[in-house]
């Protein structure tokens, strides 16, 4: 238990990246819909945090800070027009099960119908399982805004052709 | 769809995550920090020059005053575009914009090729960034260049499209060989910025037919100050420069334009004192100080209507 407390209060940067990097990447993937951009998003957020790591770690809520940096970076990227980043040397993974690919495609298509803020709320609330208060903190908005974004996003997703109940 | 069903679907959709390398992230952070320090040196020098009155604005500003201090004078190392193995850049793409409408198969789709960017110079605002794209044939059969492949290239928000210079290239890329094509893209003059490292992206095809893509970081030469427009309608609260939010420190005005500031936006110069602080000199003598925002800070002007 003692070790867990130490880790919670002040993880070293390397330790944090190793233990939490994959989880951050998964959220980033849902936000961006692209593996390369997800990695870029997580890296960019972590680079920003690394400059202030001592302060962040001393503050205690490392996860909350990094997540907020991730979301802020994602929001800033709204100005970027580039949408077609495909790593040149990558070969599609033929082992991926076809049904997973279909689900993946449908989920990304449905999420793409959402405005950026609503998409972030959906990912934080229903993938990261954050509370409304935590989501509001991550987005830097009020709880009321989270509630309205959630309601609108769910309404859109329920109407989406890509996420029909099967 | 229930909320639980949504949770399940999201979890099912997410692919396996890669491992992140802390060393790579720290390396990138260190590179960015080094660059920010060099920016600060340029900015501080610019301020001293102004205060001392040793330089006039006419001397400081270049190219009609729309752009910024030429704060780095080191000569660029140009790639050897004239080498016989490099196919010259095709400055006038034949025909209209080659990017097709709707979905189409990208050029060289399915071919065993790899792309590489060779960039031997830093990007400078208002000047073309010259580089080479190397297309290598990894297979055992020639890769034909017909129909002539088209491409899209992006640096900062600026995108250009064109065709490869097929007229001066062989008909095909021989197996286990490569062709080098000279390329260039204009670096936007009006895009504000203080320098930094940004990805140069080059893609076979374009929107609707996105083919193989390659990218590489290219340093944008720093500038010590720049022309900006600061929102002042709800007071002087913040300004965003190339995606980086700067917060007024202290904020000015009480939710209204401070005396002497424009009703909506106030133009002037933003002078970078160090990586985290900048000073705004308005055209009508307005003054404000800004600090670089933390990643978690939100833009107070977002609430301004």
What are the average pLDDT values for consecutive 10-residue runs of chain B, which has 305 residues?
Answer: 85 84 79 58 44 32 27 29 64 54 78 89 80 91 90 85 88 91 81 67 84 86 75 92 85 91 89 79 92 86 78
pLDDT at position B52 is 37
Q: Terminal CA-to-CA distance of chain A, rounded, Å?
A: 44
Q: Say which DSSP state B16 is in.
A: P
Find, in chain A, the residue whose alpha carbon is nearest to that of B34.
A51
Crossing angle of helices A62-76 and A13-32, in 10° steps, is 40
Quick check: A140 and B201 CB within 8 A? no
pLDDT at position A147 is 94
pTM over 0.95: no
Is this prediction's ipTM beyond 0.95?
A: no
Task: Scan for tokens 């062709």, then name that residue.
Answer: B179
pLDDT at position A164 is 65
Q: In tens digits, what is the pLDDT along chain A, a chain of 166 residues? A: 333 333 334 578 888 888 889 999 999 999 988 887 788 889 889 988 888 888 888 877 888 889 999 998 887 765 443 333 333 323 233 334 455 677 788 888 889 888 888 999 999 999 999 999 999 988 888 999 999 999 999 999 988 877 765 4
Quick check: B5 and A23 CB within 8 A? no
Quick check: B295 and A39 CB within 8 A? no
* Cα distance between residue B44 and residue B273, in whole Å: 5
The first and second tokens of residue B109, run together, are: 């789709």
Q: How far is A27 from chain B (nearest CA, A)?
A: 8
B149 touching A, CB under 8 A? no
B22 touching A, CB under 8 A? yes
The first and second tokens of residue A65, run together, are: 């800070």
pLDDT at position B92 is 61
Task: Scan for tokens 């792309």, then name that residue.
Answer: B115
B216 touching A, CB under 8 A? no
Task: Determine contact, residues B175/B137, Cβ cutoff 8 Å.
Answer: yes
The residues, any chain, with a CB within 8 Å of residue A92's CB and separated by 6 or more, are none
Tell me how crowded residue A4 is: count the other CB atoms within 10 A of its CB.
8
Quick check: A126 and B26 CB within 8 A? no
* Cα distance between residue B192 and residue B240, in whole Å: 10
pLDDT at position A153 is 93
Rounded to the nearest 5 percent, the helix, strand and coil shares of chain B are 15, 40, 45
Crossing angle of helices A143-159 and B3-13, in 10° steps, is 80
pLDDT at position B189 is 60
Q: Terminal CA-to-CA distance of chain B, rounded, Å?
A: 36
Q: How far is A100 from chain B (nearest CA, A)?
A: 6
The residues, any chain, with a CB within 8 Å of residue B41's CB and separated by 6 or more, are none
* Cα distance between residue B196 and residue B206, in whole Å: 26
pLDDT at position B102 is 57
Task: Scan for tokens 């099967």, then name that residue.
Answer: A166
Q: How far is A2 from chain B (nearest CA, A)?
A: 25
- Tell how far CA B207 is from the center of its chain: 19
* Cα distance between residue A27 and residue B20, in whole Å: 14
Quick check: B29 and A51 CB within 8 A? yes
From the list B5, B6, B210, the residue facing A84 with the nearest CB is B210
Reference B192, options B155, B236, B153, B240; nearest CA is: B240
Tell me how crowded residue A65 is: count the other CB atoms within 10 A of its CB.
24
H or E stretch at A31: helix A13-32
In chain B, residues 157-176 whose CB comes closer than 8 Å to chain A: 157, 159
* Cα distance between residue A130 and residue A136, in whole Å: 9
Looking at chain A, how many residues does it have? 166
Reference B194, options B244, B238, B248, B159; nearest CA is: B244
Which of B159, B178, B296, B303 is most worth mutating to test chain A (most A CB atoms within 10 A of its CB)? B296
Q: How far is A40 from chain B (nearest CA, A)?
A: 10
Residue B70, phi then psi, degrees to nearest 5: -80, 80
* Cα distance between residue B146 and residue B67, in whole Å: 42
Q: Say which DSSP state A162 is in.
A: G
Quick check: B3 and A154 CB within 8 A? yes
* Cα distance between residue B223 and residue A28, in whole Å: 32
pLDDT at position A150 is 94
The residues, any chain, with a CB within 8 Å of residue B149's CB and separated by 6 or more, are B107, B108, B163, B164, B166, B204, B205
B201 touching A, CB under 8 A? yes
pLDDT at position A8 is 38
- Tell how far CA A13 is from the center of its chain: 19
Quick check: A126 and B201 CB within 8 A? no
Task: Scan for tokens 């009006």, then name that residue.
Answer: B190
Quick check: B13 and A108 CB within 8 A? yes
If phi over 0 gives left and psi between -120 and 50 gives alpha, with beta otherwise, what is residue B63? left
Rounding to the nearest 10 degrees, give the CA dihedral for residues B167, B172, B178, B184. Answer: 30
From the list A14, A79, A85, the residue facing B213 with the nearest CB is A85
DSSP string, A117-155: HHHHHHIIIIIS---HHHHHHHHTS-HHHHHHHHHHHHH
pLDDT at position A166 is 42
B154 touching A, CB under 8 A? yes
pLDDT at position A127 is 92
In chain B, residues 47-66 whose CB comes closer than 8 Å to chain A: none
- How does B133-142 read in b/e, with b if 16+ C-beta sit within 10 Å? bebbbeeeee
pLDDT at position B64 is 29
Quick check: B10 and A127 CB within 8 A? yes
């Amino acid at each position: 238990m003692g070790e867990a407390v130490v880790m919670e209060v002040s993880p070293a940067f390397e330790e944090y990246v190793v233990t939490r990097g994959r989880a951050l990447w998964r959220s980033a993937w849902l936000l961006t819909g692209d593996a390369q951009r997800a990695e870029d998003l997580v890296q960019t957020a972590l680079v920003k945090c690394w400059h202030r790591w001592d302060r962040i770690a001393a503050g205690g809520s490392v996860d909350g800070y990094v997540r907020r940096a991730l979301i802020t970076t994602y929001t800033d990227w709204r100005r970027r027009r580039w949408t077609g980043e495909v790593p040149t040397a990558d070969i599609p993974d033929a082992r991926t099960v076809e049904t997973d690919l279909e689900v993946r495609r449908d989920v990304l298509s449905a999420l793409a119908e959402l405005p950026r803020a609503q998409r972030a709320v959906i990912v934080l609330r229903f993938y990261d399982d954050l509370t409304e208060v935590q989501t509001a903190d991550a987005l830097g908005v009020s709880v009321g805004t989270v509630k309205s974004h959630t309601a609108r996003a769910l309404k859109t997703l329920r109407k989406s052709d890509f996420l029909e109940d099967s | 769809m229930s909320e639980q069903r949504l949770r399940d679907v999201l979890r099912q959709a997410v692919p396996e995550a890669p491992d992140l390398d802390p060393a790579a992230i720290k390396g990138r952070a260190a590179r960015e920090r080094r660059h920010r320090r060099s920016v600060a040196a340029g900015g501080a020098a610019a301020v001293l020059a102004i205060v001392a009155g040793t330089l006039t604005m006419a001397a400081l500003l270049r190219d009609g005053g729309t752009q910024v201090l030429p704060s780095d004078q080191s000569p660029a190392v140009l790639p050897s575009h004239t080498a016989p193995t490099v196919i010259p850049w095709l400055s006038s793409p034949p025909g209209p914009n080659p990017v097709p409408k709707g979905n189409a198969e990208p050029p060289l789709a399915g071919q065993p090729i790899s792309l590489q960017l060779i960039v031997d110079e830093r990007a400078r605002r208002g000047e073309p960034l010259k580089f080479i794209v190397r297309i290598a044939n990894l297979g055992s059969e020639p890769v034909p260049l017909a129909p002539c492949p088209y491409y899209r290239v992006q640096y900062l928000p600026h995108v250009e499209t064109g065709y490869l210079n097929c007229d001066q290239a062989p008909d095909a890329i021989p197996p286990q060989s490569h062709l080098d094509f000279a390329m260039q893209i204009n670096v936007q003059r009006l895009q504000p910025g203080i320098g930094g490292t940004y990805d140069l992206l080059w893609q076979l095809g374009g929107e609707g037919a996105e083919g193989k893509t390659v990218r590489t970081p290219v340093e944008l030469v720093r500038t010590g100050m720049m022309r900006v427009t600061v929102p002042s309608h709800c007071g002087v609260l913040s300004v965003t420069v190339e995606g980086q939010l700067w917060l007024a420190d202290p904020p000015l005005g009480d939710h209204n334009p401070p005396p002497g500031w424009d009703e909506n936006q106030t133009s002037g110069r933003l002078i970078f004192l160090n990586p985290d602080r900048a000073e705004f000199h308005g055209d009508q003598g307005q003054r404000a100080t800004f600090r670089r925002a933390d990643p978690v800070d939100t833009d107070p002007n977002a609430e301004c209507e």
